[in-house]
Amino acid sequence: MIQMNRRALLTTGAVAGAGVAMAPLMKRVTAQGGAPIALTPFVDELPIPGALNEALTVQGQGFEDRCYAWGAPKTYELIEAEGKHRFHRDLPETDMWLYNGQFPGPTFINKLGVPTLIRRINNLNPVHTGFGMPESSLHHHGGHQAPADDGWPLDFIHPGQYRDHIIPNIVPEGDAREWPSTLWYHDHTIDYTAGNVYRGLAGLSLHFDDVDSGNENDPNPQALRLPSGQYDIPLAFRDVALNADGSLFFDQLNIKGQVGNLMTINGKVKPYLKVARRKYRFRILIGGLAREYRFQLSDKSPFQIIASDGGLLETPVTTNVLHQANAERYEIVIDFSRYQIGQQITLNDHIVQIDGNKPDAVAAVGNPLLLFVVDRDAPDPSQVPATLRPLPPIELNRVVATRNLVLSKKGGMWTINDKVWNPTVPLFRPKLNTFEIWNVSVKGGGWNHPLHIHQEFFRILKRGGTTPPAHERGKKDVVLVWDKSPVQLYVGFRTFTGPYVFHCHNLGHEDLAMMGWYDVQP
């Protein structure tokens, strides 16, 4: 087994001495130096990643006993293996690492109160070439799950092994207001998360209950009846860079975090979507490496933001611009009934960003990423109620500690409180069933950091010393922080004791050590 540790390479200057192990990487770097690939936009239809199908055979095997504490699970099988994916009609196929043969991976469907058991089988090639590591860990991002199921970065399995992940689908203190709507899952292997996720190990995880039931015709008076079925569409954004032969280009030593020049949604470069003249719910995930996005419709029309990372907002936020950092989720409702049949509208990104540090500018003219073709009428029984899901209360009387987190850079590594990742020493030891205030700031103006905290959703009490914008007042698990915009967070530690990580979700920063962990004490 070749253990190529990025951190060791960077800190010891061992690149030249790495010999054979480094050869494929260097070749890829050289091969990339061509002009950006010119592709015809909007020729591929937007793919919708299918749901992960139940695999009854998993039940009753292995060590699932503890799962039954949460009730009988629905069981699924998730197989990691090499496979091919085509990002655009006119591109050659790309070798990737896929979950169940697809990118993005199959979508987990979760129901409040019904545990999900994922048997994850690593069938990756142990003698792979190029970047990443075929050792794999799985993080259900945003999930409220035990440490053993959370994808601790050292809990990786080797090719030929499997591991069961239990997603209990419970909420802290039984408070259904904590229930999310759009999460995702991805590899979380120590030092190699960026490469492994970029090779393809990522997918979506949707959550439903009696309120957000996924049925716009639901007769239950509690049901919100948001747009559902074919009108409820995930949009997983990912920028990629390809070599001339169609292989993924990845610079494993790029400390800034890599940005790509091909903008994909659900695995396709600039796709199109035929839409009816009615409301649609879009679940937007930025599932890339480092890039930020700033979305507007081409006609600058308003849309409603209905959910953030941790689920539905208390009330919809009407806007015509949405800035979104890596790993964040926002859900928006676009009402196409304002358009005529035959009209075309694009969803544009206005960020100019040439490296992983931070956006360089906001462009007046956006880059169209997704084409909507209004092609039909359709009935619309859906609604966007003025009250979506009430937020759980912020109980400052339960706050028992205040922590300061300073995000910075030292010696070619990214640091939290001047420390690089150290799996043996937690940064904090919070007490079970308490809350804390975390003051997070960035030292140095050259970069942004999307900070992600595992295990519970937090709330942003303050951004830049004042109340955050309306769409950031809901439940969050990622918060973008920069030098001029420190944040104050309200963080809870409920249900589970033990270790959980928190880290920058610019995956290049994360792998270069901008990760710490806290150890919840009984």
Which residues are at the interface with Cu ion (CB under 5 A)?
449, 504, 506, 509
Distance of CA 137 to CAs 18, 45, 197, 201, 244, Å?
25, 32, 11, 10, 30
Least CB distance to Cu ion at residue 328 (A): 13
Least CB distance to Cu ion at residue 478 (A): 11
Query: Other CB atoms closer than 10 Å to residue 11's CB: what's the count?
Result: 15
Residue closer to Cu ion (CB basis): 319 or 439: 439
Residue closer to Cu ion (CB basis): 271 or 359: 359
Chain centroid to CA 348? 20
Residue closer to Cu ion (CB basis): 133 or 413: 413
Query: Other CB atoms closer than 10 Å to residue 498's CB: what's the count?
Result: 17
Least CB distance to Cu ion at residue 139 (A): 17
Residue closer to Cu ion (CB basis): 322 or 504: 504
Least CB distance to Cu ion at residue 49 (A): 27
Pick from 98, 84, 30, 38: nearest CA to 249: 30
Least CB distance to Cu ion at residue 506 (A): 4
Least CB distance to Cu ion at residue 287 (A): 16
Sign of the torsion formed by the C-alpha atoms of 495, 500, 503 and 505 = negative
Contacts 24+ apart (CB under 8 A), 124-127: 124/80, 124/81, 124/82, 124/97, 124/159, 125/82, 125/159, 126/1, 126/158, 126/159, 126/160
Q: In DSSP terms, which residues pair with 460 in a beta bridge?
A: 489
Residues 440 and 451 sit within 8 Å (Cβ to Cβ): yes
Residue closer to Cu ion (CB basis): 351 or 504: 504
- Alpha carbons within 13 angstroms on the beta-carbon side of residue 14 total 14
Residue closer to Cu ion (CB basis): 449 or 476: 449
Least CB distance to Cu ion at residue 358 (A): 9
Distance of CA 407 to CAs 4, 198, 427, Å?
26, 24, 13
Residue closer to Cu ion (CB basis): 234 or 287: 287
Residue closer to Cu ion (CB basis): 325 or 384: 325
The counts of H helices and E strands in the chain are 4, 29
Least CB distance to Cu ion at residue 104 (A): 23
Query: Other CB atoms closer than 10 Å to residue 305's CB: what's the count?
Result: 21
Pick from 289, 319, 369, 307: nearest CA to 183: 307
